[in-house]
Amino acid sequence: MAATEKRPVTEAGPFNGLLTWIDQRFPLMESWRSHLSEYHAPKNFNFWYYFGSLALFVLVLQIVTGIFLTMNYKPDAAQAFASVEYIMREVPAGWWIRYLHSTGASFFFICVYLHMFRGLLYGSYRKPRELVWIFGMLIFLCLMAEAFFGYLLPWGQMSYWGAQVIVNLFGAIPLIGPDLAIWIRGDYVVSDATLNRFFAFHVIAVPLALLALVGAHILALHEVGSNNPDGCEIKKATDPHTGIPLDSVPFHPYYTVKDTFGVTVFLIVFSIVVFFVPEGGGYFLEANNFIAADPLKTPLHIAPVWYFTPYYSILRATTDEFVLWVLTPGVIAFAGLIIWSVKNTVLRAAVAAVAIVLLVGFFTLDAKVWGVVLMGVSVMIFFLLPWLDRCPVKSIRYKGPITKAAIAVFVVAFFVLGYLGTLAVTSGRTVAAQVGTAVYFMFFFLMPWWSKMDKCKPEPHRVTGK
Amino acid sequence: MRALVLLLALAAPVAFAAEESVRLDAAPIDPRDVASLQAGARTFVNYCLNCHSAGMMRYHKLTEIGLTEQQIKDNLLFTAEKVGELMNVALTRKDAKDWLGTVPPDLSVIARARGPDWLYTYLRSFYRDRESATGWNNMVYERVAMPHVLWMLSGQQVQVERRFKNMEQAEAIGRQQKNAWKIDTLTPEQAGKGGEQFVLKTIRTEVPGSLSQLEYDLVVRDLVNFMTWMSEPNQLERKRSGYVVLLVLLVLLVFAYLLYKEFWKDVH
């Protein structure tokens, strides 16, 4: 399009000339309108809808504070620990930047977990938003990688041994495992080589992927439009003249001012932690991590940071007994359930084949391998949510008692697993973690059945209340 | 496979079923008490900073607890030439290994790793033990490699055991102790006929030192206060700026809320 064909910008006062010049060379006004001033968001967003913009805010915060930390941090096994203390003591406001970053890591997960829980409550992953959900899950995976790589950098005992344990998980993969673990570390143990490559991943590789995925997440969202607490599609009731959904408001200024309020509340809570309890009771900064990494001294109790503990609990819960008495009958029953439910012969045969392979595996491979597999599945299973949920309605408001009970039980299991993951193992706690693990997986694997059985109320045509 | 064994070993519970850890005394510290911090600094450079370094701490930082550069130079600068230097020691890692069997840990952030209560209890819990290499043992840290450096102040303690038939009684006596105490539980076979299963372990001063127990507790209090301050010298500034930041945010909150309500008043 020739520069002169686009109509001039008229609504920007003294900047009309400049904006017109830019707009004729770059889709400035079009982008502004389609993503902000004319992106029509449902007007009934509630509390849970703050956490998407808050997660974005924390992402920016982490990148900005991270840039400043990089200016003084030394990715060198001999200097890393002391360089963090140098930042804490001698760099002007260094302690503040560092605490913003370390607290930001935990709050990133708090925001993302609540954001995902919102999706679970209101069925935000359902058609046509499957790709929004999948991009979101990829963001979650990147975030886990980012947190894991970043946690090694302070080079404390927990950094070191946490990385050692997690990288060793890859060593559990049959055949290629041990070589894979060496390839990841770049050494036979976590060492300077590992620290350097984790630094590279943490400061450039993963953040680039994160930013690209966040872009894709928002583009996909703006293509299909936001869901809302009622789960009905606002595009079904539009103004006959303008085509704008009746139950919508333009994102800017309505949600920009609302989210500004949300960010302010967030900053107050966040600042209380940063300035008054930066260790977060040992959950955000662990006491053991104030001891420099020592490859010769294994701490008695190694626990990952709180946001990984539910999956870590699942890993530890997978004992030989669990494989024999829970996984084995579980796979047989689940395969039977699918074969009984579907009519397709090919699918039935495929399910039977997979079940047989798994059962053979249960009796030939070490329980630890299955622990690693279960831990992986416990994260990856979220990808399948859009297809597991078979309820006719999206929102919890119109779903029946089975869904409500299932979500409640799942949340309890998630918290129990998370709590147990921070503690040392005892036989009683292992049993509790095994119950939690069983509940966790039943929530997902049985969802196609229980979500279909549930008695749902009809979804309204228009959004209700506020 | 070795990695897996290691992983299992890491996750395994520690098998001290019957032995419980010492109840830690709360350290009565106050990072705003400058006199106490200065007294602690004196004890620290005189007693600790010979084997232990505090290599992330600069002498100059001591100006923040009310000392002048001249005072630091005259009274505290034993291991360095200039106040701009770090609190390092001459002891090399190799010599430390040869002489002491282990490298004494750097103490810059030890208070954040162990916690002030642990340090306060630990430094008051040494006792004479003929079986250990240094002749000392510790209630909090069994078979610790460090000898009791402050013994001339505290005197020499010995461990005392008393047996009880029930836990409540043992705990009641334990709570009356001025020093660290713990209760080990024996199996019925170990306890023998009397059935006194609960062993209250505590320490008693046998040879008095140059200080009374109360005075010694104060010396340790000041030392732990200093070490806790040193583990995060900016902690007071952090809290002070926290109040300012919260005040600004609360003002912003009012305006953000009013703006939000103003824009949304027409949305029904």
Residue A283 — very low, low, confident or very high, per pLDDT cuts 50/70/90? Answer: very high
Crossing angle of helices A177-185 and A192-200, rounded to 10° = 80
For B102-121, what is the mean pLDDT?
Answer: 95
Q: Where are the alpha helices (DSSP H) in chain B?
A: 2-11, 34-43, 69-75, 93-100, 110-114, 116-122, 151-154, 167-175, 188-191, 213-231, 235-264
Which of B56, B248, B251 to mutate to test binding with chain A, by most A CBs within 10 Å of its CB? Answer: B56
- Is the CB of residue B5 less than 8 Å away from at least one CB of chain A? no
Instruction: Please name the amino acid found at residue A143.
Output: L
Q: What percent of chain B has pLDDT over 70?
A: 93
The kind and range of the H/E element at B159 are strand B155-164
Let me know: does B66 contact B34? Beta carbons within 8 Å: yes
Predicted pLDDT of residue B16 = 35
Residue B6 scores a pLDDT above 60: no
User: How does pLDDT run across A290-304, given as a tens digit for each residue?
Assistant: 999 999 999 988 889
Distance CA B72, CA B52 (A): 19
User: How does pLDDT run across A64-94, given as a tens digit for each residue?
Assistant: 999 999 999 999 999 999 999 999 999 999 9
Predicted pLDDT of residue A300 = 86
DSSP string, A325-362: IIIHHHHHHHHHHHHHH---HHHHHHHHHHHHHHHHHH
A95, A178, A287 member nearest B238 (Cβ): A95
Output the CA–CA distances (angstroms, integers) from residue A370 to A190, A318, B13, in the order listed. 24, 7, 21
For A433-450, what is the mean pLDDT?
Answer: 97
Residue B192 scores a pLDDT above 70: yes
The phi, psi pair for B85, rounded to 5°, reads -85, 165
Q: What percent of chain B has pLDDT over 90?
A: 66
Distance CA A405, CA B217 (A): 56
The model's pTM is 0.93
Residue A60 scores a pLDDT above 90: yes
Instruction: Please name the amino acid found at residue B25.
Output: D
Predicted pLDDT of residue B19 = 55
Look up residue B188 and give its two tokens: 């019925």
Residue B7 scores a pLDDT above 60: no
Let me know: does B150 contact B219? Beta carbons within 8 Å: yes
CA-based nearest residue in chain B for residue A368: B4
For A141-164, what is the mean pLDDT?
Answer: 97
Residue B20 — very low, low, confident or very high, per pLDDT cuts 50/70/90? Answer: low
A178, A181, A264 member nearest B252 (Cβ): A264
Distance CA B121, CA B220 (A): 9
Q: What percent of chain A has pLDDT over 70?
A: 98
Let me know: does B242 contact A276? Beta carbons within 8 Å: yes
For A55-62, what is the mean pLDDT?
Answer: 98
Q: Hey, is B207 helix, strand or coil?
A: strand
Binding-face residues of B in 181-210 toward A, CB within 8 A? none
Q: Is the peptide bond before A128 cis (omega within 30 degrees of 0)?
A: yes
Residue A2 scores a pLDDT above 60: no
User: How does pLDDT run across B147-158, given as a tens digit for each residue?
Assistant: 999 999 999 999
User: How does pLDDT run across A20-41, given as a tens digit for each residue?
Assistant: 999 999 999 999 999 999 999 9
Residue B219 — very low, low, confident or very high, per pLDDT cuts 50/70/90? Answer: very high
A165, A258, A268 member nearest B7 (Cβ): A165
Distance CA A91, CA B234 (A): 11
Quick one: which of B176, B213, B194, B182 has its CA closest to B18?
A: B182
ipTM summary value: 0.91
Binding-face residues of B in 40-59 toward A, CB within 8 A? 55-58
- Look at A275 and B242 and tell me if their CB atoms are within 8 Å: yes
For A315-344, what is the mean pLDDT?
Answer: 95
CA quadruple A152, B106, B22, B149: dihedral, nearest 10: 170
Distance CA A267, CA A262 (A): 9
- Contacting residues of B for A86, CB less than 8 Å apart: 56
Quick one: which of B193, B197, B194, B200 has its CA closest to B170?
A: B200
Let me know: does A214 contact A439? Beta carbons within 8 Å: no
Q: Of B72-86, B139-153, B232-246, which one has max mean pLDDT?
A: B232-246
Residue B191 scores a pLDDT above 90: no
- Look at A368 and B260 and tell me if their CB atoms are within 8 Å: no
DSSP string, B213-241: HHHHHHHHHHHHHHHHHHHSTTHHHHHHH
Binding-face residues of B in 206-265 toward A, CB within 8 A? 231-234, 238-239, 241-243, 245-246, 249-250, 252-253, 256-257, 259-260, 263-264
Mean pLDDT of chain B: 89
Residue A172 — very low, low, confident or very high, per pLDDT cuts 50/70/90? Answer: confident
Let me know: does B133 contact B124? Beta carbons within 8 Å: no
- Look at A261 and B56 and tell me if their CB atoms are within 8 Å: no
Distance CA B217, CA B175 (A): 17
Predicted pLDDT of residue B166 = 85
For B240-259, what is the mean pLDDT?
Answer: 98
How do B198-208 and A40-42 pair as beta strands?
unpaired
User: How does pLDDT run across A253-262, given as a tens digit for each residue?
Assistant: 999 999 999 9
Say which residue, B23 or A465, is predicted with more confidence.
B23
Residue B14 scores a pLDDT above 80: no
Predicted pLDDT of residue B2 = 45
Predicted pLDDT of residue B186 = 84
Mean pLDDT of chain A: 95
Residue A447 — very low, low, confident or very high, per pLDDT cuts 50/70/90? Answer: very high
Question: Across the A/B interface, how many CB contacts are shorter than 8 Å?
Answer: 119
Distance CA B240, CA A96 (A): 12
For A102-128, what is the mean pLDDT?
Answer: 97
Predicted pLDDT of residue B48 = 95
User: How does pLDDT run across A190-240, given as a tens digit for each residue?
Assistant: 999 999 999 999 999 999 999 999 999 999 999 999 999 999 999 999 999
Residue B4 scores a pLDDT above 70: no
Residue B10 — very low, low, confident or very high, per pLDDT cuts 50/70/90? Answer: very low
Crossing angle of helices B235-264 and A256-276, rounded to 10° = 160
Name residue, tokens 């840039």.
A67
- Look at A171 and B113 and tell me if their CB atoms are within 8 Å: no
Predicted pLDDT of residue B8 = 41
Instruction: Please name the amino acid found at residue B10.
Output: L
The phi, psi pair for A247, rounded to 5°, reads -95, 30
